[in-house]
Amino acid sequence: MDKIFLDGQWSFCIDDQSETGEPITYSHAINVPYAAESKLSGVGFTGDIRSCRYKKAIAGFAVPEGERLFLRFGACDYVATVFINGHAVCVHEGGYTPFEADITDFWLTKGENVIEVAVLDDMREYKASGKQTKKDKPYGCFYTRATGIWQSVYIECRKSERITDVKFFPDINAPAVEVALKSNAKGEVSIEFFYENRLCGKTEGVLDFDGRFICRLSEKHLWEIGNGRLYDVVITFAGAKTALRCGLREVKFDGVKFLLNGKSVFQRLVLDQGYYPGGDYTPASATDFEEDIRRAQALGFNGARLHQKVFDPAYLDAADRLGFLVWDEFPSWGVDFGNLEYFDCYRSQWKEVLDRDFNHPSVVIWCPFNEVWNNSTKLNVAPDLRFIENIYEFTKAYDPSRPCVDVSGGYHGRKTDLFDFHSYGSAEDISDILCRLENKGELVADLIYGAPPYRFKKGMPVMLSEFGGIAMIENSNVPTVNEDAVLAEEPWGYGKGETSPDKFAERVISLVDVILDSPSVSGFCYTQLYDIMQEQNGLFTYERKCKFSEKEVERIKRHISRRAAIE
């Protein structure tokens, strides 16, 4: 049986009356998978939603013999309790990762089956919430909240005996792929690799709940920038086939250089925060993901830092196909990193990200934190970064095949694969920072903090993972940008705004050229691809209208795409 998607109209209510013991009244209709705050949800309530509830009825059907029926949610913010016909079947904490429940034992084969989801999402709590505003409205670099279901929901039948986990470990030199499998039973397994429908690798064996199998490939097609060259993989176990895709590539840092398949590649990234007109966290169409990637590529970018949000897997699927580099970042803002009581919850949710996205070749850097600041109450005392350091260690133990930047900007811990920093200064400011790095081996910038031993050490790989943020202010009545802009509700950008597209383009190019000319920097990330609500510092408007003429686009692309000194 194919997946049955349950997207579309559900019954919905805000402030679940069940807490008071009163009967539940579903007063709204909501369009899933759009969060209740978004216009496309049909609700559009942007006030404080601390609890809400969903309900949907589905006609019963028989579950085939030897199979189980699963209900799966792509993401629901923040704590979700799922009921089937009045029976609680699962509770999930975390607003950004998938979860599911085996509902076979509670499923009615005749009549209606009622699915209900009770959601708790109190923004007053310390929890991973990314850029969701805690106020009544968006402000600064915080935007509309996303309460409840914001990714697709579906049900599907699976074999009772089945594969439960698959992880790919490519070897580009052999070439081969080591396939790590887990199952809920012992049985024979077959793994086949195809490239453009040609069988180019096969291995068989017995899977005893947990095993690793090496599949050698007769054809070598590397996953590269601008060309995904994906293999189709078919895994057969207990009579059921699992279809996946795999990219043959290797990523690592060698000294100060970032290597893709053994070659030095400059990461030309753009910041993407995953907000969409009308849908906020969720686009009107899944094609919007690919369109945003192509917009970035048209300006010369070869990847994106997916900022303070775990993106829909469909975005990563598009990045895999298009050969687009991705930083996979957790929405760390909202968590108190000075309190180790939150550590287990954070690690659990981060592990769900690692599991979900492990097999995407486009994901080249894990980024569990953004801009962690000092949590010490005493001046001149080094911050307690055990939280950050232990998440880094966990990430590297779980996936040794990719680099991990412990924190993007802010405080770094004592161990990281990349020492990156943020700077929204002018071209002259950034030039001064990079000259000091090259001549003295010191990295001192406005958005790097901390005390020894957390400072930069000579020879570490470096990236400027946030810069730019230029606003184009066409209306002279719009307030000029100042130091308090990141707390403002009016349109803003970093630094002085520009009044025309040509001056805007010139500023972007001057910044890019300074960074590309440095032999000590392995990549950059420009802020940002598009405007978001009050933050008007994108290369495109929020509606994805380019701010430049075709001639200016080509000029920007030439500069961003040109060979970097480190390459």
Range of the domain at 407: 252-561
567 assigned to some structural domain: no
Q: How far apart are the first and last CA of the chain?
A: 50
Lowest mean pLDDT among 72-86, 291-305, 439-453: 439-453
Percentages helix, strand, coil for the chain (3-state, rounded to 5) are: 20, 35, 45
Task: Choose among 133, 120, 166: nearest CA to 46.
Answer: 133
Same-domain pairing of 138 and 208: no
Same-domain pairing of 442 and 492: yes
Task: Choose among 393, 340, 356: nearest CA to 94.
Answer: 356
Which CATH number characterizes residue 438's domain? 3.20.20.80
373 assigned to some structural domain: yes
Instruction: Compute CA distances 233 → 291, 353, 424, whole Å.
Output: 26, 22, 44
pLDDT at 5 over 60: yes
Same-domain pairing of 278 and 334: yes
Q: How confident is the model at residue 16 (pLDDT cuts 50, 70, 90)?
A: low
Note whether 243 and 190 are within 8 A (CB).
Answer: no
pLDDT at 366 over 90: yes
Segment 18-32, tens digit of pLDDT: 566 677 889 999 999
Q: Which of 208, 232, 249 is the last residue of a domain?
A: 249
Lowest mean pLDDT among 244-253, 464-473, 491-500: 491-500
Same-domain pairing of 472 and 527: yes
Same-domain pairing of 401 and 543: yes
**E-strand stretches of 482-533:** 523-527
Please compute the mean of the pLDDT values over residues 318-345 and round it to a whole number.
93
Same-domain pairing of 77 and 180: no
pLDDT value of position 376: 43
pLDDT value of position 377: 42
Note whether 41 and 34 are within 8 A (CB).
Answer: yes
pLDDT value of position 485: 62
Domains in the chain, number: 3
How many angstroms separate the CA atoms of 100 and 240, rounded?
A: 20
Instruction: Compute CA distances 454 → 359, 442, 509, whole Å.
Output: 32, 13, 32
Helices and strands, number each (H, E), in the chain = 7, 29
Q: Higher pLDDT residue, 371 or 263?
A: 263
Which CATH number characterizes residue 116's domain? 2.60.120.260
Mean pLDDT estimate for the chain: 92
Please compute the mean of the pLDDT values over residues 560-566 and round it to a whole number.
97
Please compute the mean of the pLDDT values over residues 72-95 and round it to a whole number.
97
Task: Choose among 426, 428, 443: nearest CA to 521.
Answer: 443
Note whether 259 and 251 are within 8 A (CB).
Answer: yes
Segment 105-129, tens digit of pLDDT: 999 999 999 999 999 998 878 899 9
Same-domain pairing of 190 and 298: no
Lowest mean pLDDT among 15-24, 170-179, 284-293, 512-521: 15-24
pLDDT at 189 over 70: yes
Q: How confident is the model at residue 17 (pLDDT cuts 50, 70, 90)?
A: low
460 assigned to some structural domain: yes
425 assigned to some structural domain: yes
Lowest mean pLDDT among 131-145, 287-301, 389-403: 131-145
Measure CA 275 to chain center.
12
115 assigned to some structural domain: yes
Task: Choose among 457, 459, 460, 559: nearest CA to 515.
Answer: 559
pLDDT at 356 over 60: yes
Segment 431-483, tens digit of pLDDT: 999 999 999 998 888 766 555 556 788 999 999 999 999 998 765 444 445 55
Same-domain pairing of 58 and 86: yes
Same-domain pairing of 457 and 529: yes
Residue 35 identity: A
Measure CA 415 to chain center.
22
Same-domain pairing of 359 and 459: yes
For residue 413, the SS3 value is coil
pLDDT value of position 18: 59
Q: Which of 131, 159, 187 is the last residue of a domain?
A: 159
Task: Choose among 41, 51, 72: nearest CA to 281.
Answer: 41
pLDDT at 385 over 70: yes
Same-domain pairing of 292 and 366: yes
pLDDT value of position 448: 66
Same-domain pairing of 420 and 365: yes
pLDDT at 414 over 90: no
pLDDT value of position 447: 67
Q: Which pTM value belongs to this model?
A: 0.95
pLDDT value of position 381: 52
566 assigned to some structural domain: no
Residue 462's CB is within 10 A of a number of other CB atoms, namely 21
pLDDT value of position 477: 45
Residue 482 identity: N
pLDDT at 253 over 50: yes
pLDDT at 58 over 70: yes
Q: How confident is the model at residue 378 (pLDDT cuts 50, 70, 90)?
A: very low
For 88-153, the DSSP string reads: EEEEEE-SSS-EEEE-GGG--SSSEEEEEEEEE--TTS----TTB-SSSS-BTTBB----EE-S-E
Q: Which of 159, 183, 215 is the last residue of a domain?
A: 159
183 assigned to some structural domain: yes
Lowest mean pLDDT among 82-96, 132-146, 482-496: 482-496
